[in-house]
């Protein structure tokens, strides 16, 4: 029985296949879990809503940006 050594490209390919097969991993999943409310296990088809703190922060950023744009284009008339 001979030892079969793995090359770097072959190991990388195997790693990519393993990651793609696991749906619970990945950057998209991590961002969704961070920004959205937890999934309801009894109603998996319902949409996940954004977390309250994130929604408030995004609204505040939009209001500040709108004020900035208004005063940037307002010429003191």
Tens digit of pLDDT at every position of the chain (77 positions): 778 888 999 999 998 898 888 877 778 888 888 899 988 889 888 899 999 999 999 999 999 999 999 999 887 65
- Which DSSP letter does residue 38 get? P
Q: Would you state the pLDDT for residue 39?
A: 85
The pTM of this model reads: 0.54
The answer to whether 30 touches 46, Cβ cutoff 8 Å, is no
3-class DSSP state of 50? strand
């Amino acid at each position: 029985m001979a030892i079969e050594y793995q090359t770097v490209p072959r190991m990388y390919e195997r790693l990519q296949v393993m990651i793609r097969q696991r749906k619970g991993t990945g950057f998209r999943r991590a961002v969704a879990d961070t920004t959205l409310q937890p999934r309801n296990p009894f109603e998996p088809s319902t949409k996940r809503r954004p977390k309250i703190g994130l929604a408030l922060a995004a609204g505040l950023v939009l209001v500040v940006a709108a004020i900035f744009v208004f005063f940037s284009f307002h010429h003191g008339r």
